[in-house]
Chain A
Amino acid sequence: MKLMVCLKQVPHQDARLDVRSDGTWIQEDNIKFEINSYDTFALEEALRVKDANGGSPEVVVVSIGPERVTQALRTALGMGADRAVHVKDADADGVDALGAAKILAAVAKAESPDVVFMGLMSDDGNFAAVGPMLAELLGVPHATSVVKVSMDAAITVERELEAGALEVVELSKPALLAVQTGLNQVRYASLKGIMAAKKKPIETKSLADLGLAGQVGAASRRVKIEKVYPPPKGTGAELLKGSTDEVVGKVLGKIKELGLL
């Protein structure tokens, strides 16, 4: 059995989000990056399937991005993935969701995994699009918002709906699972794992290697980000200023005014 996990490296959740000079995205120089939170749960779930099957399934992690992405892949290898594929190509940096799905589809066709795991969405773009798009391009079934996975001959998953309801779906293999946060407790890479990861292979591929030269990239984006900006300040909150005693006094006054004390 082979499991493929798609990882995206995104700006750290606590990173400063300054809009860059052309206004179309944030300034990404000199900020910290991390593995997209949703994807860490996807990786953990794949590693659990590996552990539950005596370690025999191979877990391959795939990421698209510049040199810095190597760090995310090393972390994944340290957690227990067996090998990594890094799609590194200047033209791959500006892809939209469909472009990313086309790249991952080319990798998946070469790898033929039984199951592809990935996060429901990324913490930066929040599009939640690449998973279902990749499944469509591969012609395999998928489920999004997955909160529980049981793997047998078929795959049974629970998907999160609204207001606490769950949907149970059965998928034939091969399949793609786009997972929700919280479906497991994500492990940390152990020291032994980190040492072992240094010997694990990271294969670098260009778009030409994948037969996609000139077919994906910023130029073939279907959707263009015109600008990003802080949400307009609407009525917003009255922001209190002053010492702790002063602001606490004002909040207390308001609670009294509401008749709740």
Chain B
Amino acid sequence: MGTILVIGEIQNGKLREATFELVAFARQVAPGLGAEVKSLVIGHGAQALADDLAKKGGGEVLLADHELLANYGVDAYNRAVRAAVEKTKPDVVLFSNTPSGWDLAPRVAAALDAGFVSDAFKIEAEGGKPVFTRRVFNGKLDARLSVSALPVVATVQPGATSPHAGSEPGSVTRLDVAISTGDLKAKFVKIQTAEAKGVDLTKADIIVSGGRSLGGTEKFMEIIKPLADALGGAMGASRPVVDSGWLPHEYQVGSSGQTVTPKLYVAVGISGAIQHLVGMKNSNYIVAINKDPDAPIFEVANLGVVGDLFEIAPALTKAVKDAKGL
């Protein structure tokens, strides 16, 4: 019988919800692949977390526990995963597509000369092998990928499925990983949490965000700010706007910026790259204005206007002002 190896991830002293999502995916496809689910927990002083994962569907849980594994570091974690792979000979290795998952998983695939799929949001079993679905072209197309040979290493999009909820019998075995400080070519120094931001979009009831189509700071201030002001809301932006230096980072909505859930989110000239969508898709009501009818933003929006933002947004600003008697 084959093995699906789930790589668990600890964050702030707890197993991430994404780990239990991996367990859910693994258990879903295990019968079709004729495989059993096993897991790996990497950390320091993590016995209780490994016990917890074993009770909640992780199956036979391997625990790599070492002081040099207390924080993520590519060399040490690579060794831990490779030791677990050596021991379990998995057909499928699943990581979460998180900053440590996407950092390490491709290295493991290269070391095993194995196939690699990143950021899958769907995994199915077909003819005894896994088939993955993921986005390409920054969310404009989906791709279905099959595997010509096993093993395969994959990262899975956090939030793509619900975390496994049931309790199952499991066990925990300690996995010896030989690491010394001299082995580490990449050294963890520290984590800096985001300092208090000047702009807190998470508390805004209304957010008007602009994207790359605006073309520059001036147009942003001419089109987006007046609409946000008229609505009594806050101004936000997509990543390309911040990358281009049109607005500072604290205005960025998305996975590497702020995650927002306002009552009304107006996306102006934002195509809807995945990294933006994860930061705003849970808004109560979403209006999107974009010239491309196939833009992914329309998939998460409630109301869409296909057209020229330079005409529609100012007209909307005027209409809002008129309605408010401003």
Chain A 226-256 per-residue mask, 1 if CB under 8 angstroms from chain B, else 0:
1111111110111110001101111110111
Chain B residues positioned under 8 Å from A159 (CB to CB): 99, 103
Chain A residues positioned under 8 Å from B106 (CB to CB): 97, 127-133, 136
Question: When the two chains form their complex, are residues B315 and A225 in contact, meaning their CB atoms are under 8 A apart?
Answer: no
Chain A residues positioned under 8 Å from B114 (CB to CB): 98, 222
Q: Report if A165 contacts B (CB, 8 A).
A: yes
The interface on chain A, measured as residues whose beta carbon lies within 8 A of the other chain's beta carbons, has a size of 83
Q: How distant is A207 from chain B, measured CB to nearest CB, in Å?
A: 17
Which of B119, B143, B301, B307 contacts A244 (CB under 8 A)? B307
Q: Report if A164 contacts B (CB, 8 A).
A: yes
Question: When the two chains form their complex, are residues A260 and B205 in contact, meaning their CB atoms are under 8 A apart?
Answer: yes
Question: When the two chains form their complex, are residues B315 and A228 in contact, meaning their CB atoms are under 8 A apart?
Answer: no
Question: When the two chains form their complex, are residues A160 and B102 in contact, meaning their CB atoms are under 8 A apart?
Answer: no
Number of A-B residue pairs at CB separation under 8 A: 267
Chain B residues positioned under 8 Å from A136 (CB to CB): 78, 106-108, 110-111
Q: How distant is B101 from chain A, measured CB to nearest CB, in Å?
A: 10
Chain A residues positioned under 8 Å from B311 (CB to CB): 244
Q: Report if A169 contacts B (CB, 8 A).
A: yes
Question: When the two chains form their complex, are residues A140 and B118 in contact, meaning their CB atoms are under 8 A apart?
Answer: no
Known pairs A164-B257, A225-B145; A238 contacts B192 (CB<8 A) = no
Question: When the two chains form their complex, are residues A252 and B305 in contact, meaning their CB atoms are under 8 A apart?
Answer: no
Known pairs A171-B186, A247-B305; A166 contacts B192 (CB<8 A) = yes
Question: When the two chains form their complex, are residues B189 and A168 in contact, meaning their CB atoms are under 8 A apart?
Answer: yes
Q: Report if A53 contacts B (CB, 8 A).
A: no
Which of A236, A248, A260 contacts B264 (CB under 8 A)? A260
Question: When the two chains form their complex, are residues A237 and B185 in contact, meaning their CB atoms are under 8 A apart?
Answer: no
Which of A133, A172, A261 contacts B323 (CB under 8 A)? A261
Query: Which of the candidate stretches B40-48, B49-57, B172-180, B291-299 sits at the interface with the other chain?
Result: B291-299
Q: Report if A258 contacts B (CB, 8 A).
A: yes
CB-CB nearest in chain A for B297: A237
Query: Which of the candidate stretches B22-30, B129-137, B215-223 sits at the interface with the other chain?
Result: B129-137
Question: When the two chains form their complex, are residues B316 and A251 in contact, meaning their CB atoms are under 8 A apart?
Answer: yes
Q: How distant is B306 from chain A, measured CB to nearest CB, in Å?
A: 6
Question: When the two chains form their complex, are residues A252 and B109 in contact, meaning their CB atoms are under 8 A apart?
Answer: no
Known pairs A182-B242, A261-B320; A168 contacts B192 (CB<8 A) = yes
Q: Report if A63 contacts B (CB, 8 A).
A: no
Q: Report if A126 contacts B (CB, 8 A).
A: yes
Known pairs A26-B141, A129-B116, A137-B110; A240 contacts B231 (CB<8 A) = no
Which of A142, A222, A227, A244 contacts B312 (CB under 8 A)? A244
Chain B residues positioned under 8 Å from A144 (CB to CB): 99, 102-103
Which of A19, A98, A247 contacts B141 (CB under 8 A)? A19
Chain B residues positioned under 8 Å from A45 (CB to CB): none
Interface residues of A in 133-168 (CB under 8 A from B): 133-137, 140-145, 156, 158-168
Question: When the two chains form their complex, are residues A255 and B231 in contact, meaning their CB atoms are under 8 A apart?
Answer: yes
Query: Which of the candidate stretches B59-67, B84-92, B146-154, B162-170 sits at the interface with the other chain?
Result: B146-154
Question: When the two chains form their complex, are residues B299 and A234 in contact, meaning their CB atoms are under 8 A apart?
Answer: yes
CB-CB nearest in chain A for B315: A248
CA distance A126 to B134 in the complex (A): 9
Q: Report if A21 contacts B (CB, 8 A).
A: no
Q: Report if A101 contacts B (CB, 8 A).
A: yes
Chain A 200-226 per-residue mask, 1 if CB under 8 angstroms from chain B, else 0:
000000000000000000000111111
| Chain B residues packing against A (C-beta within 8 Å) | 72-75, 78, 98-99, 102-111, 113-119, 131, 134-149, 152, 185-194, 197, 205-206, 231, 239-240, 242-245, 249, 255-259, 263-264, 284-288, 293-294, 296, 298-307, 311-312, 315-316, 319-320, 323-324
Given A17-B140, A156-B189, A223-B152, 4 further pairs, Cβ under 8 A: A133-B106, A161-B99, A168-B192, A239-B304
List the 5 closest pairs (A to B, CB-CB), nearest first: A164-B194, A222-B115, A182-B243, A237-B304, A237-B301
26 contacts across the A-B interface (CB closer than 8 A): A98-B113, A128-B106, A132-B110, A136-B108, A141-B185, A163-B194, A163-B256, A164-B256, A167-B191, A168-B188, A168-B190, A168-B191, A169-B189, A171-B187, A182-B239, A221-B115, A222-B115, A222-B116, A222-B148, A223-B152, A224-B146, A236-B301, A237-B302, A239-B293, A239-B305, A248-B315
